[in-house]
């Protein structure tokens, strides 16, 4: 009877999570912790190296074979930054971490829920931090962590301290990866230097109205994350734009484009749900409407657009432009040193490029041609710059990976491949040869160490077991004999020396 009771009690107990689900810092606030910071703290809390946590606990539980394969080969660290942003990687990480910690709020430590409004990733590729924030937290004995807002690529300053966010360790000068075997929140993973700095040693910078608007915009987004029950889909913008246009009583889409200060065709694309605005364009729309992102989202959800403050201001609409004004502006444009595209000029004037071609065909063509040759010139410059970077990398004594070379020079992989496929290939091949050569050297070195010990033992009539070898030379790690290549080497050498293996290990 008692046995049955105990059994029932055991069955009633909730399954225990693998990890203690420590509370993410700043949940529900604009300074919510980033997922990479949480993983680092989780490892420290459980006293395991972060790489063990990733490779042995998280890695095997990931569902995508693409990721588990990557894990088996040690996922390239420069891809880890995606876990804080929007990617299929972080969906998997979130699922696994929620299971491991028994929590259901891990998703708010990334931008994953906001993928409906972002056309691309908005997070930086390396760690970024406000040294003064870190210093203050430590002084006040508050927990040290890395908030998600520091990682938004468009935000460059801390609004609390007016200091520029740092990307390089002030001691060794290195950029820091999000996941590294020596990751420790608030410290450099290479030289272990504390990354905090006092306010007096940090230059105060000016924050423009635009910068403050941008910070406020993302703060609101992060703050509302954990309070939302549903998140916008990719069709959010095509739903909200016609409503705004109607409420502003703007009839023509061209005028609406003028009001929002975007190209006519771009606006059409958004309204027809062919594309969604870039993160920067979305900020700019909010700025034009004088609202924050969560207000814009609530507009789309509540249909309450007519009462909104931005709608009453009709003065922003420009008057219709005269033909003479168009002509003189086009003439002026031709004289400028830095040409602009006809689309951009037309957009500013509030006319279409068709209108210009119809009324001023020669002038229109001249402007287009000038811009085209300018663009070509720019393209050549980019082509040469990338070539220079790649050739320099090939001359380095120690070969580097293509990804690192491009990353260090802020060149996208796609563009580099398009301009110089052969050079890219050369760098990759050189690097992989270098790695395999290093591996071969290490292998030979270890084998000759093992061989020396086996001969010594043999002289004394001792069988070269793993225990005996490592006892004789403690510099040889016993674990290496778990690798087939070393164990086979040991065994074949023993056979050559006349030992019978069937009775021995
Ligand atoms: Zn700060
Ligand atoms: Zn350092």
| Per-residue pLDDT of the chain in tens (505 residues, 90 and over written 9) | 445 544 554 444 445 567 788 899 999 899 999 999 999 899 888 888 888 888 788 877 877 666 666 666 665 545 677 788 887 778 888 888 888 888 888 989 999 888 888 888 889 989 999 999 999 999 999 999 999 999 999 999 999 999 999 999 999 999 998 877 788 889 998 998 999 998 888 888 888 888 888 898 899 889 888 777 777 888 888 888 888 888 888 888 888 898 888 889 999 999 988 888 988 898 888 888 888 887 787 766 554 443 443 333 343 344 567 888 888 899 888 888 888 888 888 877 877 777 888 888 888 899 989 999 998 998 899 999 999 999 999 999 999 988 889 888 888 888 898 899 999 999 999 999 999 999 899 899 999 999 999 999 999 989 999 999 999 998 888 888 888 889 999 999 999 988 877 656 6
The rounded distance, in Å, linking the Cα atoms of 446 and 223 is 55
User: What's residue 166's pLDDT?
Assistant: 94
Contact 293, 220 (CB under 8 A): yes
Distance 158 CA to ligand 1 centre (A): 5
Distance 151 CA to ligand 1 centre (A): 13
Distance 280 CA to ligand 1 centre (A): 23
Distance 113 CA to ligand 1 centre (A): 26
The rounded distance, in Å, linking the Cα atoms of 188 and 127 is 10
**Ligand approaching nearest to the C-alpha of 150:** 1
Any alpha helices (H) in 102-151, and if so which ranges? 131-139
Spatial CB neighbours of 175, under 8 Å, sequence gap ≥ 6: 126, 127, 167, 168
User: What's residue 195's pLDDT?
Assistant: 94
Distance 325 CA to ligand 2 centre (A): 58
Distance 322 CA to ligand 1 centre (A): 50
Distance 117 CA to ligand 1 centre (A): 27
Distance 196 CA to ligand 1 centre (A): 10
Backbone dihedral region for residue 181 (phi beyond 0: left; psi -120 to 50: alpha; all else: beta): alpha
Distance 378 CA to ligand 2 centre (A): 37
Distance 137 CA to ligand 1 centre (A): 10
Distance 199 CA to ligand 1 centre (A): 9
**Ligand approaching nearest to the C-alpha of 166:** 1
What does the block give as tokens for 481?
């004999």
3-state SS of the chain: helix, strand, coil percent to 5?
A: 60, 5, 40
User: What's residue 157's pLDDT?
Assistant: 93
Distance 33 CA to ligand 2 centre (A): 22
Distance 56 CA to ligand 2 centre (A): 27
CA–CA distances in Å: residue 94 to residues 29, 48, 216, 375: 19, 20, 26, 43
Distance 470 CA to ligand 2 centre (A): 36
CA–CA distances in Å: residue 144 to residues 129, 137, 138: 11, 6, 7
The string of DSSP codes covering 7-68 is HHHHHHSPPPPSS--PPPTTTTSTTPBPHHHHHHHHHHHTT--HHHIIIIIIGGG---HHHH
User: What's residue 258's pLDDT?
Assistant: 87
Distance 310 CA to ligand 1 centre (A): 32
**Ligand approaching nearest to the C-alpha of 147:** 1
Angle at the Cα of 464 from the Cα atoms of 462 and 470, rounded to 5 degrees: 110
The rounded distance, in Å, linking the Cα atoms of 120 and 102 is 30
**Ligand approaching nearest to the C-alpha of 165:** 1
Distance 186 CA to ligand 2 centre (A): 11
Distance 52 CA to ligand 2 centre (A): 22
User: What's residue 164's pLDDT?
Assistant: 92
**Angle formed by the axes of helices 264-271 and 253-260, nearest 10°:** 110
- Report the run of H or E that residue 239 belongs to, with start and end: helix 236-247
Distance 477 CA to ligand 1 centre (A): 46
Distance 201 CA to ligand 2 centre (A): 18
Distance 206 CA to ligand 2 centre (A): 27
**Ligand approaching nearest to the C-alpha of 184:** 2
Distance 175 CA to ligand 2 centre (A): 8
**Ligand approaching nearest to the C-alpha of 171:** 2
Residue in 265, 283, 134, 276 with CA at minimum distance from that of residue 217: 283
**Ligand approaching nearest to the C-alpha of 204:** 1
Distance 162 CA to ligand 1 centre (A): 7
């Amino acid at each position: 009877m008692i046995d049955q009771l105990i059994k029932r009690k055991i069955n009633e107990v909730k399954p225990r999570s693998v990890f203690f689900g420590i509370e993410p810092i700043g949940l529900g606030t604009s300074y919510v912790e980033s997922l990479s910071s949480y993983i680092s703290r989780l490892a420290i809390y459980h006293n395991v190296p972060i790489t063990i946590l990733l490779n042995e606990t998280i890695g095997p539980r990931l569902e995508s074979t693409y990721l588990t394969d990557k894990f088996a080969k040690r996922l390239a660290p420069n891809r880890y930054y995606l876990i804080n942003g929007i990617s299929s990687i972080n969906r998997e990480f979130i699922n696994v971490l929620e299971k491991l910690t028994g929590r259901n709020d891990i998703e708010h430590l990334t931008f994953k829920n906001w993928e409906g409004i972002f056309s691309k990733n908005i997070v930086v590729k390396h760690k970024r931090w406000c040294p003064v924030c870190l210093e203050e937290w430590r002084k006040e004995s508050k927990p040290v962590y890395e908030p998600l807002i520091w990682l938004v690529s468009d935000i460059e300053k801390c609004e609390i301290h007016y200091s520029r966010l740092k990307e390089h360790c002030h001691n060794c000068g290195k950029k820091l990866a999000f996941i590294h075997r020596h990751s420790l929140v608030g410290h450099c993973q290479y030289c272990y230097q504390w990354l905090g700095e006092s306010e007096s040693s940090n230059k105060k910078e000016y924050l423009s109205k635009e910068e403050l608007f941008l910070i406020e915009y993302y703060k609101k987004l992060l703050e509302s994350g954990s309070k939302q029950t549903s998140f916008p889909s990719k069709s959010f913008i095509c739903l909200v734009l016609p409503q705004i246009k109607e409420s502003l009583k703007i009839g023509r889409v061209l005028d609406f484009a003028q009001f929002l200060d975007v190209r006519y065709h771009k606006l059409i694309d958004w309204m027809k749900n062919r594309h969604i605005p870039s993160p920067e364009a979305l900020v700019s729309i909010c700025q034009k409407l004088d609202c924050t992102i969560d207000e814009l989202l609530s507009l789309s959800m509540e249909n309450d657009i007519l009462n909104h403050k931005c709608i009453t201001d009709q003065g922003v609409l420009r008057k219709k432009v005269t033909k003479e004004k168009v002509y003189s502006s086009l003439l002026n444009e031709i004289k400028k040193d830095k040409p602009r595209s006809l689309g951009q000029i037309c957009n500013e004037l509030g006319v279409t490029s068709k209108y210009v071609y119809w009324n001023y065909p020669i002038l229109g063509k001249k402007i287009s041609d000038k811009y085209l040759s300018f663009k070509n010139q720019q393209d050549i410059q980019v082509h040469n710059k990338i070539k220079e970077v790649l050739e320099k990398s090939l001359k380095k004594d120690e070969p580097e990976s293509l990804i690192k070379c491009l990353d260090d020079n802020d060149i996208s992989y796609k563009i580099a491949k398009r301009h110089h496929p052969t050079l890219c290939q050369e760098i990759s091949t050189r690097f992989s040869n270098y790695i395999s050569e290093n591996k071969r050297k290490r292998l030979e070195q270890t084998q000759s160490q093992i061989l020396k010990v086996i001969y010594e033992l043999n002289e004394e009539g001792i069988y070269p077991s793993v225990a005996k070898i490592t006892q004789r030379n403690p510099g040889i790690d016993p674990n290496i004999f778990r690798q087939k290549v070393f164990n086979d080497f040991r065994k074949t050498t023993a056979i050559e020396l006349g030992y019978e293996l069937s009775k021995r290990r």
